């Protein structure tokens, strides 16, 4: 398996049609998420592909997408019903 990196991807898309398209693209790589926040384990090829797909769909004057690379050595702090997602990276297509 190729090396994967964990990312947090969040977006604010102004147009409902673009929002739906962006949601489908990001959700295809997500291992967990809620509304417009998604955790993704991506290898270099998948990361490049996802960036190309979503940047082709956005309207730069109106939409926002944030991609944060998460440090693999950081331990998450969980409260309430929060649970860690699978520690084994995977991709659902």
- Average pLDDT for runs of 10 along the chain of length 93: 82 93 91 83 93 93 91 77 61 44
| Domain count of the fold of the chain | 1
Question: Has residue 52 been placed in a domain?
Answer: yes
Question: Has residue 60 been placed in a domain?
Answer: yes
Question: Has residue 78 been placed in a domain?
Answer: no
Separation between Cα atoms, residue 88 and residue 79, nearest integer Å: 22
Domain range for residue 58?
14-70
- Residue 67 belongs to what H/E stretch? strand 64-70
What pLDDT, on a 0 to 100 scale, did the predictor assign at position 14?
A: 92
Tokens 């997602």 label which residue? 85
| Neighbour tally for 21: CB within 10 Å | 17
Separation between Cα atoms, residue 60 and residue 83, nearest integer Å: 34
12 is in an annotated binding site: yes
């Amino acid at each position: 398996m190729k090396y994967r990196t964990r990312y947090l991807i969040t977006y604010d898309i102004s147009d409902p049609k673009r929002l739906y398209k962006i949601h489908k693209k990001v959700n295809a790589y997500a291992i967990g998420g809620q509304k417009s926040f998604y955790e993704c384990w991506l290898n270099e090829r998948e990361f490049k592909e996802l960036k190309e797909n979503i940047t082709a769909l956005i309207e730069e004057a109106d939409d926002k997408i944030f991609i944060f690379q998460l440090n693999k050595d950081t331990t998450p702090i969980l409260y309430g019903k929060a649970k860690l997602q699978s520690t084994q990276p995977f991709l659902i297509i």
